[in-house]
Amino acid sequence: MSGPSEDAVFIDRVESFHVENCRRIGDSVSKGSGHDDPDGLTAARAYQGALADAGLAGITIPFEYGGAGLTAHHQELFTQTAAAWYRPDSALSISHGMCLPMLNQYGTHEQKAAYIADLVRGATIWCQMFSEPGAGSDVAGLETRAVLDGDEWTLDGQKVWTSGAHYCDFGLVVARTDPSLPKHQGLSMFIVDLHSPGVDVRPLVQMSGARGFNEVFFNDVRFPQTNLLGEVNQGWSLAVSMLMFERVSIGAGGGGLNAKRNPELIQLAQDLGRSDDRLVRQALADLYIHEEIKDYVAQRIRATVAAGRVPGPEGSIAKLTGALLARRTRDTAMAIIETSGQAWSQLDQQRQNLRSAAGEKWSNFCYNAAGISLAGGTDEVQRNIIGERVLGLPKEPDAFKGAAWQDVPRN
Ligand SMILES: Cc1cc2nc3c(=O)[nH]c(=O)nc-3n(C[C@H](O)[C@H](O)[C@H](O)COP(=O)(O)OP(=O)(O)OC[C@H]3O[C@@H](n4cnc5c(N)ncnc54)[C@H](O)[C@@H]3O)c2cc1C
């Protein structure tokens, strides 16, 4: 671990980078990356490329694979320092929060050498492909099939709710490789090039008009044997690791929907003349308390990661805390902006009307806040995990425990 003066130098590097490239949280409202770039891709790529040029991307990834080759302690310093800034990198959150640590942890040398450097600098973007129409909470029951044919795998099936697949280059796909085994035992994880023949990505349009998710169809998609990540039929343990990376990223990462919003909302309440309202003041105080609590939970989880351990059920605690906090943030924002959360005007925004700009921005947050309770496993699923693995409560009954997947009835 580096000494205090070395820490100060590193913090200063991170701070200077963000002064150059980002806006500080609490600065007045702006619309973000704009309607011509609904996914925020241009801004995300520019930010990530600049980070890589500054030697601050992929902090704990070895230098030989295109990372910064620094320590988990540096990662923690980065996360804490960068949390004060709006970082336009949400389009990369799955790529960097989940796919990168998976490749780094389970990839062969050849896989790391082939993929990681581009991923680190945002030149390629990756997504996570677990959920299917018949397998969400019970993801181990999934049906997408991968079959070894000579020295190639063939992939057939369908994924759904795949965040960002419409702009991604690669997916980490969990597929069934042996239906004669019980459901958790016959799965494997693959690296799939989404530009391959037979991959059909269809965006799903949300009520806000945004296109964050996709359904993705695989029809006789072929890729080399070497695209297997980990071992054949060991995919469930990789999937669990990846879900824990996701839960840590959602619950204990520093940016995006997970950032501390209290300073910004206090500023907004002042700007809109709402800071004398008793209920607004109470909501802001309550939010402050819960953000601080979540910060301590997050620090504990990040310490687990920094110690080189794959996080266990504490990832579920972080994720549940983050999901509940997002809803609390949403309610506080709505109490401040009142009816502007339901209607705002583009014309007023052109006239720099703060209430209208805040209306659009926070109603977008409002739509997205509920989804955090579903993504990466629902709140109920996290409570089940915490109940079983932290509190030692009895497991959920499973009438088909140990049965071959192919013998279990499905819809
Ligand atoms: C914002 C967002 C992003 C996402 N991104 C991705 C992605 O990139 N890749 C991907 O693969 N998937 C993604 N998903 C899908 C997500 O993982 C699933 O929506 C989630 O696992 C729930 O599955 P489901 O929607 O099929 O609901 P279901 O599993 O059908 O659940 C329906 C309801 O039943 C409850 N329930 C189910 N089982 C139990 C149980 N055993 N005990 C108690 N309650 C239970 C659930 O809590 C829920 O309320 C995303 C979802 C969202 C909202």
Q: What is the pLDDT of residues 382-403, one digit of tens each?
A: 999 999 999 999 998 889 999 9
Specify the CATH number of the domain 127-235. 2.40.110.10
**Is residue 97 scored above 70 in pLDDT?**
yes
Probe target for ligand 1 pocket from 96, 327, 374, with the most ligand atoms within 8 Å of CB: 374
102-124 pLDDT per residue, tens = 999 999 999 999 999 999 999 99
* pLDDT tens, position by position, 335-382: 999 888 777 766 666 666 787 788 888 888 888 888 889 988 999 999
Which residue from 154, 25, 170 is spatially nearest to 99, judged by alpha carbons? 170
Which atom of ligand 1 is nearest to 164's Cα? Answer: 8
Please indicate whether residue 374, judged by its CB atom, sits closer than 6 Å to ligand 1.
yes
Q: Which CATH superfamily is domain 4-124 in?
A: Acyl-CoA dehydrogenase/oxidase, N-terminal domain (1.10.540.10)
How far from 168 is each of 119, 137, 212, 356, CA to CA, in Å?
Answer: 11, 24, 12, 32
Which atom of ligand 1 has the smallest separation from the CA of 371?
A: 53
Tell me the H-state helices in 107-212: 109-120
Say what angle helices 314-337 and 235-252 make with each other, to 10 degrees: 40
Mutate to test the pocket of ligand 1, among 127, 138, 249, 378 (most ligand atoms within 8 A of CB): 378
Least confident of 75-79, 143-147, 204-208, 218-222: 204-208
> What letter represents residue 111's amino acid?
Q
- pLDDT, residue 314, reads 82
Ligand 1: distance of its center to the CA of 186 in Å? 21
What is the average pLDDT value for the chain, to the nearest integer? 89
pLDDT at 30: 46
Name residues whose C-beta falls within 8 Å of residue 193's C-beta, 6 or more positions apart in sequence. 169, 170, 199, 223
**Does any ligand 1 atom lie closer than 6 A to the CB of residue 283?**
no
Q: How far is the CA of 374 from the centre of ligand 1 (A)?
A: 5
Ligand 1 pocket, 182 CB below 6 A?
A: no
User: For the domain 238-390, what is the CATH code?
Assistant: 1.20.140.10
Q: In angstroms, what is the span from residue 178 Cα to ligand 1's centroid?
A: 24
Q: What are phi and psi of 398, to 5 degrees?
A: -135, 105
Where does the pLDDT of residue 270 fall: very low under 50, low under 70, confident under 90, or very high at 90 and above?
Answer: very high
378 lines ligand 1 (CB under 6 A): yes
Type and span of the H or E element at 349: helix 346-350
Give the start-to-end residue ranges of the domains of the chain. 4-124, 127-235, 238-390
pLDDT at 3: 59
Residues present in the chain in total: 411
Of ligand 1's atoms, which has the minimum distance to the CA of residue 376?
A: 17
3-state secondary structure of 162: coil
**Percent of the chain having pLDDT more than 70?**
91
CB of residue 137 inside a 6 A radius of ligand 1: yes
Contact call for residues 354 and 195 (beta carbons, < 8 A): no
Q: Is the pLDDT of residue 34 over 50?
A: no
- In sequence order, what DSSP letters do the residues of 169-192 get, joined into one string? SEEEEEEES-TTSBTTTSEEEEEE
- The confidence band for 68, taking pLDDT boundaries of 50, 70 and 90, is very high
Q: Name the pLDDT band for 210 (thresholds 50, 70, 90).
A: confident
> CB of 161 closer than 6 A to ligand 1?
yes
Element (H, E) at 85: strand 85-86
Question: Which pLDDT value is given to residue 364?
Answer: 84
Q: What tens digit of pLDDT does each residue of 45-65 get?
A: 999 999 999 999 999 999 999
39-43, 142-146, 246-250, range with the lowest pLDDT: 246-250
**Locus of tokens 């969400």:** 136
199-204 and 187-193: which strand pairing?
Answer: unpaired
Active site residue 246: yes
CA 357 to centroid of ligand 1, rounded, Å:
32
In short, whether 227's Cβ falls inside 6 Å of ligand 1 is no
Task: Please tell me which residue in 132, 215, 246, 360 is annotated as part of the active site.
Answer: 246
- Range of weakest confidence among 34-48, 154-168, 173-187: 34-48
- Counting from 1 in the atom list of ligand 1, the atom nearest the Cα of 133 is 26
Answer positive or negative: Cα dihedral of 399, 404, 405, 407: negative
Pairing mode of beta strands 145-149, 126-129: unpaired
State the Cα–Cα distance between residues 108 and 396, nearest whole angstrom: 36
Residue 35's pLDDT is 44
Instruction: Give the model's pLDDT for residue 36.
Output: 54
Cα angle 393, 138, 381; round to 5: 40
Model pTM score: 0.90
Query: Is the minimum distance from the CB of 204 to ligand 1 under 6 angstroms?
Result: no
Tell which residue, 246, 286, 201, has the closest CA to residue 102.
Answer: 246
